[in-house]
Amino acid sequence: MRKVVIVDYGLGNILSVKNAFSMFEKNTLVSNDYMEIKNASHLIVPGVGSFSEGIKNLKKKQLDLPIKDYFNSEKPILGICLGLQLFFSSSEEFGHHKGLDLIKGEVVRINKYKDSNEKLPIIGWKDLLIEDCKINFEKNIKTTFYFDHSYMVKPNNPEIIKGQYLFDEISVPSFIINENFIGCQFHPEKSGKIGLNLINQFLNL
């Protein structure tokens, strides 16, 4: 039986995430309890806010260890936005901060060219071309998701990047698959039907 657990570390749009997952699985709960996290069939780490606050809260609530244990199991785990970034080695948002270091790489600020028409923060819908992977979108179909961020992940191993978009000429890694871990820089819970489809597929892993 599926048991979906959304990690509550005091940051983020937990209500929207819970509602989106509850559309497909009634047995969805929000928790910061070690045993609940350990026994989940699908774990979600959501997040909106700054990296340093996120890591500080995870440690204060002693959630870093259960998340690491879960990451090292073979069960599916999803990181959304800040919840993706926290899995990386470090971030340069407001100083230098260590992350969970479960995926090697950094979180860096996105910079725009001087005469660029692009806007920061990045708020809005972006097209991603998603590579063949264990999440099935129609083959090579253009997929459009909602983003709201100023920082991006830079994995040491580029092969885990399964979807990206261009900002000026910078590729922004947006969809990550690292074995049982799936990471979205965008918000599937805010991306209409295409986002709900991703959530449903994740739950079927």
Name the residue nearer to another protein (CB basis): 69 or 92: 92
Compute the distance between CA of residue 110 and CA of residue 123 in angstroms, rounded to an integer. Answer: 13
The CB-side HSE value for 55 (13 A sphere, CA atoms) comes to: 18
- The question of whether 189 is a catalytic residue gets the answer yes
One-letter identity of residue 116: S
Show contacts with another protein in window 31-50 (CB under 8 A).
48-50
| Selection from 176, 143, 199 nearest residue 19 by Cα | 199
Report if residue 58 touches another protein, rule: CB under 8 A.
no
Residues 203, 40 contacting (CB under 8 angstroms): no
Residue 73 C-beta: closest distance to another protein, Å: 28
Instruction: List the catalytic residue out of 81, 93, 106, 184.
Output: 81
Indicate the SS3 state at residue 22.
helix
Residue 123 binds another protein (CB under 8 A): yes
Smallest gap from Cβ 177 to another protein, in A, equals 12
Q: Does 133 participate in binding another protein (rule CB under 8 A)?
A: no
The nearer residue to another protein, 66 or 195, going by C-beta atoms, is: 195
Which of 177, 174, 175 is closest to 160 using CA atoms?
177
| Cβ-based nearer residue to another protein, 65 or 133 | 133
What is the C-alpha to C-alpha distance for residues 85 and 204, in angstroms, rounded to an integer? 24
Return the SS3 of 103. strand
**Could you confirm whether 187 is annotated as catalytic?**
yes
**What residues from 140 to 179 belong to the interface with another protein (CB under 8 A)?**
140, 142, 144, 146, 148-150, 158, 161, 164-166, 171
Q: Is 175 helix (H, G, I), strand (E, B) or coil?
A: strand
Q: Is position 184 annotated as part of the catalytic site? A: no
Q: Which of 185, 201, 204, 198 is nearest to 41 (CA)?
A: 204
The catalytic residue positions are 81, 187, 189
Which spans of this chain sit near another protein (rule: CB under 8 A)? 13, 15-16, 19-20, 48-50, 117, 119-129, 131, 140, 142, 144, 146, 148-150, 158, 161, 164-166, 171, 187, 189-193, 195-196
